[in-house]
Amino acid sequence: MTTYRELVAAATVGLAQRPLTITELAAPAEAYPPALDTSDDAAAVLDAAALLDAAGRAARLTPTQLELPPPAPPDPAPELTTVAGRIVWELLRAGRIDLLSDLLAAAAAAGRRAPAPLLPALFTAATSNHGLRSGAAAVAGERGRWLAAQQAEWAHVLDAAPGEMDADVWEIGRPAERRAWLADLRRRDPDAARQALAAGWAKETGDDRAGFVAVLAERLSEADEPFLESALDDRRADVRRAAVALLTRLPGSAFAQRTRQRAADRLAVERRALRRRLIVTLPPEPDPATLRDGIDPKPPDKRGERAWLLTQLIAAAPLDLWPATLGEQPADLVRLPVSDDFHLEVHAGWRIAALRQRDAAWARALLRAGDDPPPRPGWPSDEALAAVLPEADRQDRAAALLARNHPVVAAAALQACPPPWGSALVTAVLDQVRRAVRAAEPPPLGPLLGLAARRLPVDAQLDAEFHRLADVAPITTPLPAALRNAANVLDLRRRFLEELL
């Protein structure tokens, strides 16, 4: 058995002085002598030394029995085509997350899944971009779900995946998985979801309870009132706020009756000849029952405490209270002057109530009132109110803003208009762009064009029109580049969607 020491000695003095025939190597290279070239003694010595050195460095590898995961299940859903997959890859590399999310949603709606080679890059991008998670989860397919389960950070992507989940998730899942499980059960069986939540309520952490209460907004009914009433006594303020937001939407609840009584005497209509105005009576200091119902006595800014209480009492009351007690419809009430300069406090309360109660009539009236308040905590923006309107009304509002040549304001309004856009809104967008092209100093259209490129109908004629407008737009402005980019996005969307047919 030849050792490394013997090899060194033979190499040092020379094989002519110390011949060496290698027939067997010492451990851990004992298995390798057949690989030696014995026709050349010098080469055999050098090869044996290399083998012993490498084996010594590596040491012996102890075989370990590994338990392999089960193979990925078959997935009957068709993959994206090669062209569509290449578009997804290009958008991933470019970081175009919003556009990519739109296209993945379209692919999922068409029943397509992402090609397997794309899954690692798609999951990696979705772990750091929350806006991509829903789309990535929707096109993951069976193989993607199997792959994500092998790597902890990728598993978070599937928290956004819809569909029925194992009941074990409610007991041992992560918070996001448990909310998704509860939301799925709520859609299928509202009573079972509420009962599951109530059964383990005492064991839930404060951070989780508010999120779980918010899930009950889906298919909310009077049957949820007892549970929500008990949540008003929770020690966490965010849990109490979540319960108040839902109780406000139950007009027949005991909570609604209490808030009606507190708010009814705060406003009255004064009529003098042909003039009318709202008279405000400020509320007293809140009692413990009022505080329990979510009224906060401390204003978030420098406004007076009683004026802040007025806003909250109006916000908590059912909106049908005011036409019933004041004898006017919302569109008329919001136009009335308000006594003692409390206009903003009253309208803030109505805005909050319209948003909480998802009341389109009040939202429409308040938007038409044209309030332009200074920034103030708790004041719902016009865009938040517009989200309450039916889709057709939202599109009409955005088209009207464009017609009045307000592209910056209209861009924000367009955010609340999901596709498909109707012909009137498409025409309004194109008219605004054409006016900008003809203007000596065109208004900034970057945000509007970026959104329009993602939501306009896919049409080769639109691509061509945007390219034509880019050729005649003032070259000293950013408009030509913005128009060409919009045309390219429209073309890319069209090519992707054609691959789904």
What is the pLDDT, as a whole number, of residue 32?
64
What is the pLDDT, as a whole number, of residue 33?
62
Q: 209 near 197, Cβ under 8 Å?
A: no
pLDDT in tens, 452-499: 999 999 988 988 999 999 999 998 899 999 999 999 999 999 999 999
**Residue 17 identity (one-letter amino acid):** Q
For the chain, what are the domain ranges? 4-58, 82-160, 168-247, 266-386, 391-498
Give CA 68 to chain center in angstroms.
35
Tell me how far CA of residue 295 lies from CA of 207, 233, 238, 289, 335, in angstroms: 21, 13, 13, 9, 27
pLDDT band, very low/low/confident/very high, at 165 (cuts 50, 70, 90): low
Contacts of 224 (CB under 8 A, 6+ apart): 190, 194, 216, 246, 250
Q: What percent of the chain has pLDDT over 90?
A: 61
pLDDT at 118 over 60: yes
Give the C-alpha separation, 139 to 114, whole Å: 5
What is the pLDDT, as a whole number, of residue 26?
76
pLDDT at 156 over 90: no
What is the pLDDT, as a whole number, of residue 112?
95
pTM exceeds cut of 0.85: no
What is the pLDDT, as a whole number, of residue 149?
84
**Residue 391 exposure: Cα atoms within 13 Å on the Cβ side:** 6
Give the C-alpha separation, 435 to 453, whole Å: 18
Which pairs from 94-102 meet CB under 8 Å and 24+ separation? 97/125, 97/129, 97/131, 97/132, 98/131, 98/454, 99/454, 99/489, 99/492, 99/493, 100/132, 100/135, 101/131, 101/132, 101/134, 101/135, 102/135, 102/454, 102/493
Give the C-alpha separation, 472 to 479, whole Å: 10
The mean per-residue pLDDT over the stretch 375-394 comes to 87
pLDDT band, very low/low/confident/very high, at 169 (cuts 50, 70, 90): confident
pLDDT in tens, 281-312: 999 999 999 999 999 988 888 778 999 999 99
Average pLDDT, the chain: 89
Q: What is the DSSP code (8-state) at residue 166?
A: -
What is the pLDDT, as a whole number, of residue 60?
58
Beta bridge partners of 113: 79
pLDDT at 55 over 90: no
The mean per-residue pLDDT over the stretch 335-356 comes to 94
